[in-house]
Amino acid sequence: MTITTRFAPSPTGRLHVGNIRTALHNWMLARKHGGRFLLRIDDTDKERSEEHYVEAIRQDLAWLGLDYDAVERQSERLSHYESAFETLRAAGRVYPCYETAQELDLKRKIQLGRGMPPIYDRGALKLTAEERAAKEAEGIAPHWRFQLDHAEAITWDDGIRGPQKFDAAQLSDPVIRRADGSWLYMLPSAVDDIEMGVSDILRGEDHVSNTAVQIQMFTALDAAPPRFAHEALLVGREGKLSKRLGSLGCDAMREEGIEPQALIAMLARLGTSQPVEPIATIEALLETFDLATFGRAPAKFDDADLQRVNTAILHEMPYEAVADRLPDGIDAAGWEAIRPNIETLADAGDWWRIVTGPIDQPEFDAETRSFLGEAAQALKWSDNPWGDLTATLKGSTGRKGKALFLPLRQALTGMDHGPDMKALLPLIGEAKARERLSLAAGG
């Protein structure tokens, strides 16, 4: 059987780190086994769904390099849900309910007050046909629930959590359709998974009880359930994922200078027994992707770790991978020189200004100015101007170590630290280097 997975975001906002991770792992599960990865836009909520978010989702997946084999939109499949609803209705597996939100809330509070689980009491099933007709005559439109089979134990072998078992009597019959006729998540998702041939569903552990309910929906629709796996949710360094991190999406990542390869490298292994490493190629990550490595403990997302991975990946990136995003004038040699000093690609422009100038030199004392004047005279251009210059000055002045190198770096770059001067000095060039040394000497 071809493995088919899906990513099913609602276009009500930007993708954030949690659902980016879900998309990535489903993509990896499919690609690892030569299967299919589907993008399904869950846009049945007309009030909250916005078209510009659909486009943003596509752009974010493209930025991450997560291609998909097909795209579906639930808003274009309403007739399919209607048909499934009528099938369930004919089988007696859905029923109308007339309680208001306030009445349901009161019921839950009473149950909790009595130490009982807040499960729907199936009060609507006790209504007679006359009572239902009376409510509809009053203008009360019903919402609809799927009736769970309490006699059927719900079990599955979860790809991460292992054997799972639920007592259907301990679950509420889920609302599948609102009073205005619009659909909630449960039924359309099950119908789509059946008709699109989804074989594996990998999602967060907050969906475990949804899975229990949907397994009965699959059975009621005469379909075999797919394989399910539920991964641990993301948390921050101090436990709960902060609002800032929880809402951190691809747009914010790009603004902060995060490379897509870094985000992929971090999220691919977050929550597994494998170390998070600065692995820049998705192919290398796919080789080690295995649900057996996923753990039950919360997966800790730390933006400081992401920054470290990002920096490490940038330090290994070839010029060709970044050339179109570098400031004008930076060639392969320039990139090789400044690359070890950057944390984000935006830093490249700051370091390149050391080459192009102008620079701000510190104030030097008389002895140092004399030394720099001698350096201006000693500068000879060659294949290794920095090595030749420092060797000459070491011999003529007796300076070594910091006393030799630091004044030269400060005069040539205006900085106390930075790229390797052996690589940087040829980029600055002979004329500009001599001019800076002479200026620092007071000339």
Q: Which residues are annotated as a binding site?
A: 243
Of 152, 153, 131, nearest in space to 142 by CA: 131
Residues in the chain: 443
Of 58, 67, 60, nearest in space to 37 by CA: 67
Count of CB atoms situated within 10 Å of the CB of 356: 15
Identify the DSSP state of 125.
Answer: G
Q: Record the tokens describing residue 439, joined without a space.
A: 């200026």
Identify the DSSP state of 234.
Answer: E
Residues with Cβ within 8 Å of residue 314, at least 6 apart in sequence? 259, 262, 339, 342, 343, 344, 345
Residues with Cβ within 8 Å of residue 65, at least 6 apart in sequence? 260, 264, 282
Of 227, 207, 231, 206, nearest in space to 291 by CA: 231
Residues 442, 205: Cα–Cα separation, whole Å? 68
Residues 423, 355: Cα–Cα separation, whole Å? 11
Binding-site residues from annotation for ATP: 243
Strands 143-146 and 94-97: antiparallel
Q: Give the three-state DSSP class for 281.
A: coil
Residues 100, 106: Cα–Cα separation, whole Å? 10
Contact criterion met (CB below 8 Å) for 220 and 91: yes
Dihedral (Cα; 75, 76, 78, 84), 10-degree rounding: -120
Task: Provide the β-strand partners of residue 36.
Answer: 4
Edge-first strand listing for the sheet containing 175-177: 94-97, 143-146, 175-177
Q: What is the 3-state secondary structure (H, E, C) of 54-70?
A: HHHHHHHHHHHCCCCCE
Strands 227-231 and 4-7: unpaired
Q: Record the tokens describing residue 110, joined without a space.
A: 């009473």
| CA angle (290, 294, 295) in 5-degree steps | 160
Residues with Cβ within 8 Å of residue 296, at least 6 apart in sequence? 160, 161, 232
Of 226, 234, 231, nearest in space to 290 by CA: 231
